[in-house]
């Protein structure tokens, strides 16, 4: 689509610019002895037509874009195109002069103008080159806008995919097992069943709520993990013990949502659930020298037969931290003495958005 022809406001501005140039040239001719009427009758049709001829500069600018064409080729094509356009204009001028010469009123002025043909040609070349320069600018603007639009679209897509991935993270295994716990409690402990329903409802709602946000206070993330652990506590009973240590000043830090929760979930599903006698999950959150450290430790299966702990949740956390902080964030894991240890280290930010 032509950037000027395609839009009425741009076409109006373009023609207004041409009208100004035309008026300026007419002014010069009045100094040379022509009346305004003679000058305008002579020039307006020619300039009007040439204004449209110069719109073809768009195709020249598109065919030889500045970014991918050598400057020599750009120069050659500009000169050739403007000489050609101006030659066309010269032919038109000649025809118009011939036509005007047949009238009695304009014949003298037409003859005078006929003596200025080299000047007409030079002006034609100059105007076409100006138009070409203008089109190059327009092209650059359009390209930049297009790039910006694409970037925005990409960001939107990424965020959308991320959101969907986050939602998918609510482990179906966890959901069905929780429902089964509720079903079991209904018979023997109705208030317990209700408590479990409320916990599960709160957990699901909070998960959906925080995953729609960019950054959340660590306190919210801790509360989410707490709800998760409360539910799993009902399932695992005494097999699941929890020890927490949270720095007061750390809990006000802003973190990406669902950063801690997957680690806690791993500690349960890959740790506690796979160890016969269960054990202790240790959660330690601290803030030192502008950095936030989150440590989760849990007992893990030492049998050679069981694959390394961690899983998809940890991969996801690693990728997201990498996308957000690059080298500024670290995820370290190690297994020692039957304990799985994961530590996140990231810049502590408290800025409110």
Q: Which residues bind other proteins (CB under 8 A)?
A: 172-173, 175-177, 179-185, 187-188, 234-237, 273-276, 301, 303-305, 307
Smaller CB distance to other proteins: residue 115 or 238? 238
CA-to-CA separations, 274 to 238, 277, 340, in angstroms, rounded: 14, 9, 12
- In the complex, the smallest distance separating the C-beta of residue 224 from other proteins, rounded to whole angstroms, is 21
Q: How many CA atoms lie within 13 A of 76 on its CB side?
A: 7
Contact 254, 221 (CB under 8 A): no
Smaller CB distance to other proteins: residue 221 or 265? 265
- In the complex, the smallest distance separating the C-beta of residue 183 from other proteins, rounded to whole angstroms, is 4
- In the complex, the smallest distance separating the C-beta of residue 206 from other proteins, rounded to whole angstroms, is 22
Contact 335, 341 (CB under 8 A): yes
- In the complex, the smallest distance separating the C-beta of residue 239 from other proteins, rounded to whole angstroms, is 8
Q: Which residues lie below 8 Å from residue 132, measured CB to CB, with a gap of 6+?
A: 57, 60, 61, 78, 81, 82
Cα 312-167-221 angle, rounded to 5 deg:
80
Smaller CB distance to other proteins: residue 106 or 228? 228
Smaller CB distance to other proteins: residue 172 or 290? 172
Burial class (CB in 10 A: 0-12, 13-18, 19+), 32: exposed
- In the complex, the smallest distance separating the C-beta of residue 229 from other proteins, rounded to whole angstroms, is 16
Smaller CB distance to other proteins: residue 151 or 180? 180
CA distance 201 to 278: 26
């Amino acid at each position: 689509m032509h950037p000027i022809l395609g839009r009425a406001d741009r076409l109006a501005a373009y023609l207004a610019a041409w009208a100004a140039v035309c008026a300026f040239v007419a002014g010069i001719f009045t100094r040379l002895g022509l009346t305004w009427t003679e000058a305008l009758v002579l020039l307006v049709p020619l300039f009007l037509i040439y204004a449209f001829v110069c719109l073809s500069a768009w195709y020249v600018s598109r065919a030889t874009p500045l970014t991918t064409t050598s400057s020599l080729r750009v120069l050659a094509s500009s000169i050739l195109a403007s000489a050609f356009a101006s030659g066309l204009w010269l032919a038109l001028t000649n025809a118009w002069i011939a036509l005007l010469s047949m009238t009695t009123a304009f014949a003298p002025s037409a003859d005078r103008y006929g003596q200025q043909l080299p000047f007409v040609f030079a002006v034609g070349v100059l105007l076409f080159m100006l138009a070409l320069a203008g089109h190059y600018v327009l092209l650059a603007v359009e390209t930049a806008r297009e790039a910006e639009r694409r970037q925005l679209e990409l960001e939107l897509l990424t965020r959308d995919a991320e959101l969907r991935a986050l939602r998918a993270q609510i482990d179906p295994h966890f959901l069905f097992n929780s429902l089964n716990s509720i079903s079991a409690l209904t018979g023997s402990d109705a208030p317990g069943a209700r408590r479990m329903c409320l916990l599960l409802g709160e957990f699901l709602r909070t998960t959906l709520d925080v995953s729609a946000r960019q950054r959340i206070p660590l306190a919210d993330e801790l509360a989410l993990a707490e709800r998760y652990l409360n539910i799993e506590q009902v399932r695992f009973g005494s097999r699941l013990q929890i020890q927490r240590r949270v720095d007061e000043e750390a809990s006000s830090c802003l973190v990406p949502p669902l950063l801690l929760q997957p680690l806690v979930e791993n500690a349960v599903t890959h740790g506690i659930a796979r160890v016969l006698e269960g054990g202790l999950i240790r959660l330690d959150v601290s803030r030192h020298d502008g950095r936030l450290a989150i440590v989760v430790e849990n007992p893990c299966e030492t049998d050679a037969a069981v694959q390394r702990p961690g899983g998809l949740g940890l991969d996801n956390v690693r990728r997201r931290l990498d996308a957000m902080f690059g080298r500024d964030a670290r995820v370290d894991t190690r297994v020692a003495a039957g304990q799985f240890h994961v530590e996140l280290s990231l810049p502590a930010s408290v800025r409110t958005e």
